[in-house]
């Protein structure tokens, strides 16, 4: 079976990013029967711990655990992702989108602690538009544009457009994160890093619990969209999304 078309494609700057920041949603989509894939932009070759070969094996193990249809790596330069200003990088991403044809594209938010994460958000936003232009890179495949682009939160908090209930997926998400042992559990002899700190995973879990509280579930992952979301049938929408009472609320002013 061809990889395309995908129902959803998540893009990570490095091989562990989608697991950390939107892995629960990907697992949940697979549980619901959707065809889900991941594109890692770089091989993470500048990481303080773990070789490219080790990280490739870790990413493959996580992909199998999550039930992904495909996981590909574009091998863009680590710490060198451009915010859509490098024509070669834009073409590489456009060709991946045209090849995989995702209905839903899930990308990093454009504000982030790591420069690659912020740049990746800008790169993906630009490529998602250009991939739909017939005259842009005509040798790179027929034009295609994802129906919707979702932004996932990194370490900079944003006000979400919506929150996905990942309560049934959080156990698999945690196991997928732990596949990236060279990064999240590198051992006492490794160089200290933010993601390698044991508290980092606790913070990720706390964040997921925090956002779950806004929709009355145990765990949740937040997303933003650029356009105002529309609802065709409000009755059916809220009937199908009948969560419990929220435990936390946003101020109205």
Average pLDDT estimate for 212-230: 95
Q: Residues 118, 124, 129, CA angle at the centre, nearest 5°? A: 140
The runs of H, that is alpha helices, within the chain are: 17-31, 52-66, 87-100, 115-130, 170-179, 181-184, 198-214, 234-240
Percent of the chain with pLDDT over 90: 83
1, pLDDT greater than 60: no
Neighbours of 252 (CB within 10 A): 4
Quick one: pLDDT band at residue 249, thresholds 50, 70, 90? Answer: confident
Mean pLDDT value of segment 153-160: 92
The answer to whether domain 8-240 has CATH 3.90.1150.10 is: no
- b/e sequence 59-86, b meaning 16+ C-beta within 10 Å: bebbbebbbbbbbebbebebeebbbbeb
Which of 4, 37, 34 has the alpha carbon at shortest distance from 105?
Answer: 37
Cα(211)–Cα(25) distance, integer angstroms:
13
Q: What is the pLDDT of residue 105?
A: 98
Question: What are the sequence ranges of the domains in the chain?
Answer: 8-240
CB 109 within 8 A of CB 153: yes
CA atoms within 13 A of residue 250's CA, in its CB half-sphere: 10
What is the Cα–Cα distance from 83 to 123, expressed in whole angstroms? 5
Residue carrying structure tokens 């964040």:
207
Digit-coded pLDDT (tens) for 166-190: 999 999 999 999 999 999 988 877 8
Q: What pLDDT is attached to residue 253?
A: 63
Mind listing the pLDDT tens digit for each residue in 91-104? 999 999 999 999 99
pLDDT averaged over every residue in the chain: 94
Q: Give me the mean pLDDT over the 96-114 stretch.
A: 96
Residue 131 in this model has a pLDDT that exceeds 70: yes
Interatomic CA distance for residues 128 and 98, integer angstroms: 10
Residue range 218-243: mean pLDDT, rounded = 93
Q: Are strands 36-42 and 70-76 parallel, antiparallel or unpaired?
A: parallel
Report percent pLDDT > 70 for the chain: 99
When pLDDT is averaged across residues 47-76 and rounded to a whole number, the result is 97
Higher pLDDT, 103 or 197: 103
Predicted pLDDT at 34: 98
What are the tens digits of pLDDT across the range 2-58?
788 999 999 999 999 999 999 999 999 999 999 999 999 999 999 999 999 999 999
């Amino acid at each position: 079976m061809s990889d395309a078309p995908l129902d959803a494609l998540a893009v990570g700057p490095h091989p562990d990013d989608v697991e950390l920041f939107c892995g629960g949603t990907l697992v949940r989509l697979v549980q619901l029967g959707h065809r889900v894939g991941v594109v890692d932009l770089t091989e993470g070759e500048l990481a303080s711990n773990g070789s490219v070969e080790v990280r490739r094996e870790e990413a493959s193990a996580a992909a199998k655990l999550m039930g992904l249809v495909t996981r590909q790596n574009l091998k863009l330069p680590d710490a060198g992702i451009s915010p859509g200003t490098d024509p070669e990088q834009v073409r590489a991403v456009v060709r991946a989108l045209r090849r995989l044809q995702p209905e839903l594209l899930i990308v990093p938010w454009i504000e982030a602690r790591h420069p690659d994460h912020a740049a990746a958000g800008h790169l993906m936003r630009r490529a998602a538009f250009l991939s739909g232009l017939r005259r842009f890179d005509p040798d790179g495949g027929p034009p295609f544009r994802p129906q919707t682009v979702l932004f996932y939160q990194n370490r900079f908090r944003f006000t979400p457009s919506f929150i996905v209930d990942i309560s049934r997926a959080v156990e698999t998400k945690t196991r997928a994160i732990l596949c990236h042992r060279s990064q999240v559990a590198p051992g006492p002899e490794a160089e200290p890093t933010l993601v390698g700190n044991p508290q980092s995973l606790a913070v990720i879990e706390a964040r997921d619990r925090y956002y779950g509280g806004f929709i009355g579930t145990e765990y949740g992952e937040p997303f933003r969209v650029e356009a105002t979301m529309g609802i065709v049938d409000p009755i059916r929408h809220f009937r199908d999304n009948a969560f419990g009472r929220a435990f936390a609320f946003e101020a109205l002013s």
